[in-house]
Amino acid sequence: MPALASELFIDQAHEKYSAENHEAWRKLFERLTPRWHKYANDRFLSGIEELHLNPARVPRLADVNRRLKPLTGFQAKAVSGYVPAFLFFDCLRNREFPTTVTIRRSDRLDYLPEPDIFHDVAGHVPMHTDPHFAQTLVKLGECAHTAAAHGEEELASVVKGLARFFWFTIEFGLMRASNGNGLRVYGSGLLSSYGEIEHAIESPEVQRFPIQLEWVINQSFEIDHYQPLLFYVESFEHLFDLVEQLERWMKEGKLDNLAPGEPEIKESDLRSFLEGVH
C-alpha cells in the first residue's frame, strides 16, 4: 500500500464534534427517516437497525465497527480527506471503507458536493451489513488490481469505466423491490439526500432503465444536480454478477477505449493505480 496511506488514515477525535455538528446529524437523520422507510431497500433498513445508529449524535466509528464487523467483516476507517482511487478500491478489497469524519454545516443540509460523515455512515455503511453487498464491494476492490495491470495509455479509460460503474450502482443505484412492486433505493448518494431520494423514485423527469453494463461504462455523469438517468438491478446477486462481468471485460480490453466525457480522471488517481500495486 502506498506510503500516502499513512497520512490519510486518522483517529476520529469524536470529542471535538461541536453541538452544531451533532445538531446537523440530528436534523439530517430526523428528516430522512420517513423517506428511508418509504423509498429505501429492505437491506438498508435492516442495516440501520443492526448498527443502532444514534439519531441525535454523530456516531463513534468504533461503536459502528463493533456492530458491523461481526456481520460482514467490514469496518469504517476514518480518513483526513480525498482518497486516491486505487487506495479507495484497495480498502474495499480489504473490507475497509474510507470514511470522512467532517459533517456539513447545519445551514447547508440539502446539498454537499463532497462526502461527509452523514453520507458515508448513514448512506453507505448500513448497506455493508448485507453479506452479498459486502462481497460485491470486495470484488470491486479486486477489480482495481485488474485495472492496474493495464498500460498507462489505456488506464485513464479503464479508471473512468470503474468510476462510472461505481457511480451508477453503489452511489446512485436502484433495485427492484423485494415484493416485485416498483423500485427501491440502495445507492448511498440517494440514501443520504433528503430531496433526491424522493426525486429518484417519483419524478417524471428521471429516466430509469434496467442496468446494461455496456451503457453504464460509456455513460457520463455530472455531480452538481439531481441525476436525470438511473439504472436498476434485480438483486445484490445480480449486482455481484455485473462486477464479475466488469472484471472480465477489463481483462479482455473492453474498457480501454470508452466514450469520452465525465468524470475527468485526476492525475493523482492515475498515479495511484500505477504505483499502488507496488
199 catalytically annotated = no
Catalytic residue among 119, 128, 150, 199: 119
Position 277 scores a pLDDT of 64
Give per-residue pLDDT as tens, 212-227: 999 999 999 988 889 9
Contact between residue 225 and residue 240 where contact means Cβ atoms under 8 Å apart: no
Q: What is the mean pLDDT of residues 106-128?
A: 86
- CATH class (in words) of the domain with range 5-276: mainly alpha
Residues 246, 203: Cα–Cα separation, whole Å:
30
Give per-residue pLDDT as tens, 245-277: 999 999 999 999 999 999 999 999 999 998 876
- Distance of CA 52 to CAs 15, 64, 125, 134, 187, Å? 20, 8, 12, 19, 20
Position 2 scores a pLDDT of 41
Position 182 scores a pLDDT of 93
Catalytic residue among 150, 157, 171, 193: 171
Residues 31, 27: Cα–Cα separation, whole Å:
6
Domain boundaries along the sequence of the chain: 5-276
- 265: cell is 480522471
Catalytic residue among 188, 192, 193, 272: 192
Contacts for 265 with CB less than 8 Å, ≥ 6 apart: 85, 156, 159, 160, 163
Position 278 scores a pLDDT of 58
Position 3 scores a pLDDT of 41
Catalytic residue among 124, 128, 150, 199: 124
Percent of the chain with pLDDT over 90: 85
Give per-residue pLDDT as tens, 159-180: 999 999 999 999 999 999 987 7
Q: Please report how many Cα atoms fall inside a 13 Å half-sphere around the Cα of residue 74, on the Cβ side.
A: 31
192 catalytically annotated = yes
Position 153 scores a pLDDT of 84
